[in-house]
C-alpha cells in the first residue's frame, strides 16, 4: 500500500533560518508526491508536487522540495523562514491503484521571531 510518513509532529525554527519538514514515502512504482499547507481555520492549500523530472521542485511562497529516490524522501525546504510560514504541513502521495491522495499525519511548523 502507498503511504507517506512525517516523523516530526512539530518543527521549530527561528525567523530567517532555513527550514526542513521531513517526509518519507512508500510506494510501488513511480511516486506522485505533494505538499500542502493548512493555515489555522483554513482549508489546505497546494504548495508543490513531484511527478517526474528534476529532483528539486519549486513551489509557492518560496518553498521547494527535494525528491530523493534512494532515501525515499521528499523533504520540504525553505532557505529563510518567515513567521507567516507557521502552519500545518501535509505531505501526500497518490495511490496509483485507487487514484486517491493519501496524506501524512501533518507537521506543525512554528517560526519564532
Partner 1 sequence: DTAVSQTPKYLVTQMGNDKSIKCEQNLGHDTMYWYKQDSKKFLKIMFSYNNKELIINETVPNRFSPKSPDKAHLNLHINSLELGDSAVYFCASSQYTPGEAFFGQGTRLTVV
User: Among 90, 91, 109, 111, which residue interacts with partner 1 (rule: CB under 8 A)?
Assistant: 90
Strand 87-95 relative to strand 107-112, pairing: antiparallel
> Site mask, partner 1, residues 13-52, x = CB under 8 A?
---------------------x-x-x--xxxxxx--x---
A 10 A CB-CB count for 1 gives: 9
User: What residues have CB less than 8 Å from 71, skipping those under 6 apart?
Assistant: 24
Q: How far is the CB of 80 from partner 1 (least distance, A)?
A: 25
According to DSSP, the residues that pair with 64 across neighbouring strands are 58, 77
C-alpha cell at 26: 512508500
User: Among 76, 94, 109, 111, which residue interacts with partner 1 (rule: CB under 8 A)?
Assistant: 94
Q: How far is the CB of 89 from partner 1 (least distance, A)?
A: 11
Amino acid at each position: 500500500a502507498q503511504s507517506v510518513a512525517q516523523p516530526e509532529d512539530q518543527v521549530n525554527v527561528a525567523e530567517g533560518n532555513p527550514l526542513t519538514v521531513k517526509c518519507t514515502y512508500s510506494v510501488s512504482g513511480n511516486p506522485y508526491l505533494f505538499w500542502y499547507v493548512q493555515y489555522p481555520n483554513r482549508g489546505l492549500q497546494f504548495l508543490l508536487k513531484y511527478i517526474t523530472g528534476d529532483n528539486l521542485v519549486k513551489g509557492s511562497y518560496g518553498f521547494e522540495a527535494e525528491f530523493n529516490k534512494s532515501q525515499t524522501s521528499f523533504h520540504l525546504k525553505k532557505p529563510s523562514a518567515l513567521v507567516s510560514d507557521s502552519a500545518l504541513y501535509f505531505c501526500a502521495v497518490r495511490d496509483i491503484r485507487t487514484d486517491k491522495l493519501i496524506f501524512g499525519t501533518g507537521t506543525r511548523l512554528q517560526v519564532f521571531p
